[in-house]
Structures are given as structure tokens and as C-alpha cells.
Chains A and B, each alone.
Chain A
């Protein structure tokens, strides 16, 4: 099981990696986000992300890499149940709550607040 310490340093290292992509490789924030998602997806494909979550807890689930992990995880679970079509239908199975929340809360907040520039 993860501890506060493992969550802190694993999550922190993922963020350091993101910051280095901005500062050293000069990637745009959009590229950094996409790269981290893809890394998370690849790690889960290799079966490595679940052990990381067990070890670091929120340190691995809060960063955006976890989204890539969830995409692949949902697709693989659904593929086991429904075969090849499950790869398509399962992609958003685990992540649908996150995506729907982003849309719904984004909409609600935009009704209340106005950007200040």
C-alpha cells in the first residue's frame, strides 16, 4: 500500500517530468498533456501502471498519466468481456465519469463566472 510519502514523491516526479518537457524540450502544455496521457496508456498496456497505483496511491491516480491508464484499462476489461468490439466501447467506460464531470461542471461554472483576463 502507498503512503503519504510514496504518493508525494511519485506524483511529484511525474510533475517534474512534465515541467522538464516544458522548460527543456520546449513542448507546449498541450503536447505535455498528450505525452503524459500516452505514457500512462503505454505503461498500463505493459501492466505496469496498476502496481504503481498500489505503491503510490493518489501520487499515480491524480496526475494526467492516470487518464491514459484508465483509457487502456477500460478497453482491455471490455475486450475480455465482449471481444474485439469491447476495445472500442470500453475506452471511455472507466473514464466517462471524469469526462462527463468536466463537461457538466465546466458548463455550470461558466454560467456563474466571467473570466477576468
Chain B
């Protein structure tokens, strides 16, 4: 077990990030990170007939851009891993149809981005291929229909609700060396404190994020201050302080290095997004856009991305089930060759 440290953490020594991409919709384009994304779209439909087709378009754009940035062609991709939030993972499956390469569909709700990067890195570290691509997508209008109420229904939202990010992000990992490496991945365990409100995912997911961060620090022997940035996926203004509080009880102090993608992607003063951003694309577009740019520019050297997912379905919460939550952490570091 030379590649496992502690109970839940995988150690990688030969996984480089060759390229990444992020594309977003209108609200994200109007947000503070607008310059960090590869492509911006100002139409919820992206010129397509339906929101589902629009989401698929975003996902396919992110794949094309990531492949182009890495100077590869589609046929070079040994494995494609993807997931989204729609029934039966249709965005992922349909994008794999277009790509035409070996495909594994994965689902971890909003934790899928780091789940995909973890599995892709494992395939590369294991020597099973040269290039693995992981991608996710989410769309505000498809997610509203999927998880909550169609917009036309006019259901009221409380302040703890979050706004699903419209966007897609992709990353290509390889044995071909680059300056940005995937060094560790900590696979989370389900945490469920009995929260049943689908409009308060921040509170539900915070314990999962806190547990995974604590396990990661224990397994790797690192401190939060060892990282330039620790970024949770979509806890937003409700979950963010809860993670800090929960970890403080464990003696782990998160300082200014801790932030949340759902808080970074929007300006909550200016944009009506309630507690902040959520969705697969929250973590993916911020990580594969903003964070990768910062790593390339040498403004960040060591980051820990903790993607959080609420594993509920519309049926489960209507039947009164609580929300099982998960978080996966991936350490990405800049190392000069």
C-alpha cells in the first residue's frame, strides 16, 4: 500500500495537470471572477432548444477547450470521467457520446468534480493510461427543475437557499510532466446530521467538509497553514462558518487561507443568489478557472480543494429522508520541474 497514507488518503507522485477549462453562464459572467473563465455566455439557453441541451453544450465546450489547451486531440484521451446533477447523469453520458472515448459516468452531486479528479489521478498514477480527463457541469434552470421547483411554479426561497452555478469545468491529468501536480486525494465518508431541508444544503454539507479536512490533515500530517488556499466547493455563507466552528472543536484552526467557491463566484451584495453558489460547476469552474490561473501565475503554490456533495434526491426528501453528505479533498501543488 505504498500509495495510501493514513486511513482515507491517496498519495500521487506522478500525476500532472496538463490543462483545465471553465465555461459559465450569465450570472457567473457578471460575478467577480469573470476574467478567470475561458468562455462566457449571456443566454440561459446558449442558443439551444432546452436548458438540458444548453448544459450539454457548456460541458462539451469545456472538454474541447481543455483538449485544445493541452495540445491534444480527442482520440488521445484514454479515460473520460464525468458527472452532473440531472437524472441518470445525462449531460455526462451525452457528452461522452460526442467525445467517443472510454467513459466512466460518476455521481457525487456537487462533490463530483473532485471525485472525478481523484479517480482520473488514480488511473494515471496506476499506469493505466497517459491522459485522463474529468469534467462536470450544472445549470441553474435544469437544477431548479431537478431538485426544487420549476421557476414558473414561483415557490419562495429562504435566505439559506443557494443559487446553482451555470457552467462546466474540465481537467486533463497525465504522466507527462507539468508544473502543476495532483499530490493527495482524501476520499470522504458520508456525514448525515439529520438535516431534511433541501433549501439549507450549506448546513447539511458542512460536517462532511469538516470531517474530510480533519482526516486529510491527520493522514498527511499537514496543517491548514501549510496551504495557500483551502477551498470548499459550495457551502456558501451558511456552511462556511460552520466548517470553521466544527474544526475548531477538533483543534484545527482555519485562517485566512480558507474560502468557499460558492462565496467567490458571486458578489452577494450585488447579485440575488441568497447564501451563494452551489452545483457541480461551483467547485469546478472556480478551481479549473481561478485556482489554476493563480497556480500558473505563481500566486498560489499549494491548494486543497474540498468538493462537497449533498446526496439527496427529490423523492428522498419528499419522503422525509435526511440528506447524506460527502466531501472529497484533492491537494494540487505547484512544483517546478
- Which chain A residues (26-59) contact chain B, with CB distance < 8 Å? 26, 28-29
Are A117 and B140 closer than 8 Å at their CB atoms? yes
Q: Give per-residue flags for A1-38: 1 if the beta carbon is below 8 A from chain B beta carbons, else 0.
A: 00000000000000000000011001011000000000
Which residues on the A side are within 8 Å of B150 (C-beta)? Answer: 115
- Within 8 Å by CB of B51, from A26, A28, A117, lies A117
- Give the residues in chain A near B158, CB-CB below 8 Å: 23
- Alpha-carbon gap, A115 to B156, bound state (A): 17
Q: Check B304 for interface membership: any CB of A closer than 8 A.
A: no
How many residues belonging to A are interface residues under a CB distance threshold of 8 Å?
8
Q: Assess the A22–B156 pair: CB atoms within 8 A.
A: yes
Within 8 A of B (CB), among A83-117: 115-117
Q: Once the chains bind, are A116 and B155 in contact (CB under 8 Å)?
A: no
Min distance, Cβ B146 to any Cβ of chain A, angstroms: 13
Q: Which residues of B contact A29 (CB under 8 A)?
A: 149, 153-156
Q: Which residues of A contact B293 (CB under 8 A)?
A: none
Contacts of B85 in A (CB 8 A): none
- Are B197 and A26 in contact, CB atoms less than 8 angstroms apart? yes
CB-based contact B153/A115 at 8 Å: no
Query: Are A117 and B141 in contact, with the CB atoms below 8 A?
Result: yes
B137-177: CB near A (< 8 Å → 1, else 0) gives 00011001000011111111010000000000000000000
What's the nearest-Cβ distance from chain A to residue B317, in Å?
9
B152 neighbours in A (Cβ, 8 Å): 115
A29 CA / B141 CA spacing, docked (Å): 19
Q: Which residues on the B side are within 8 Å of A26 (C-beta)?
A: 197
Q: How distant is the Cα of A23 from the Cα of B155 in the complex, in angstroms?
A: 12
Is B8 close to A, CB under 8 A? Answer: no
In the complex, the answer to whether B44 meets A116 with C-beta atoms within 8 Å is yes
Contacting residues, chain A, for B149 (C-beta < 8 A) = 29
List B contacts of A116 (CB < 8 A).
Answer: 44, 151
Instruction: Assess A115 versus B197: contact at CB under 8 Å? Given A22-B156, A29-B156.
Output: no
Shortest Cβ gap from B281 to chain A (Å): 15
**Quick one: closest A residue to B54, CB to CB?**
A117
Contacts of A22 in B (CB 8 A): 156
Chain B hits for A117, CB < 8 A: 44, 51, 140-141, 144, 151
Q: How far is the CA of A26 from the CA of B149 in the complex (A)?
A: 15
> Whole-angstrom distance from the CB of A24 to the nearest CB of chain B?
12
Q: Which residues of A contact B151 (CB under 8 A)?
A: 115-117
Nearest B residue to A110 via CB reads: B152
Minimum distance in angstroms from A111 CB to a CB of chain B: 15
User: How far is A28 from B319 in the complex, measured between Cα atoms in Å?
Assistant: 12
Distance between B312 CB and nearest chain A CB, rounded to angstroms: 14
User: Which single residue of chain B is at the shortest CB-CB distance from A115?
Assistant: B152
Could you tell me the distance between the alpha carbons of A16 and B155 in the complex, rounded to whole angstroms? 16
Q: How far is the CA of A12 from the CA of B151 in the complex (A)?
A: 24
Contacts of B155 in A (CB 8 A): 28-29
Instruction: Tell me the bound Cα distance from A25 to B263 in angstroms.
Output: 29
Mark interface residues in B66-97 (1 if CB within 8 Å of A CB, else 0): 00000000000000000000000000000000
User: Complex formed: what's the CA distance from A104 to B144 in Å?
Assistant: 26
Q: Please, how many angstroms separate the alpha-carbon atoms of A75 and B97 in the complex?
A: 55
Interface string of B233-270 (1 = CB under 8 A from A): 00000000000000000000000000000000000000
Give chain A residues whose Cβ lies under 8 Å from the Cβ of B156. 22, 29
21 contacts between A and B (CB under 8 A): A22-B156, A23-B158, A26-B197, A28-B155, A28-B318, A29-B149, A29-B153, A29-B154, A29-B155, A29-B156, A115-B141, A115-B150, A115-B151, A115-B152, A116-B44, A117-B44, A117-B51, A117-B140, A117-B141, A117-B144, A117-B151
Given A115-B150, A115-B151, 17 more A-B residue pairs with CB atoms under 8 Å apart are A22-B156, A23-B158, A26-B197, A28-B318, A29-B149, A29-B153, A29-B154, A29-B155, A29-B156, A115-B152, A116-B44, A116-B151, A117-B44, A117-B51, A117-B140, A117-B141, A117-B151
Give 7 nearest A-B pairs by CB, closest first.
A117-B141, A117-B44, A29-B155, A115-B152, A117-B151, A117-B140, A115-B151
Chain B interface (Cβ within 8 Å of chain A)? Answer: 44, 51, 140-141, 144, 149-156, 158, 197, 318
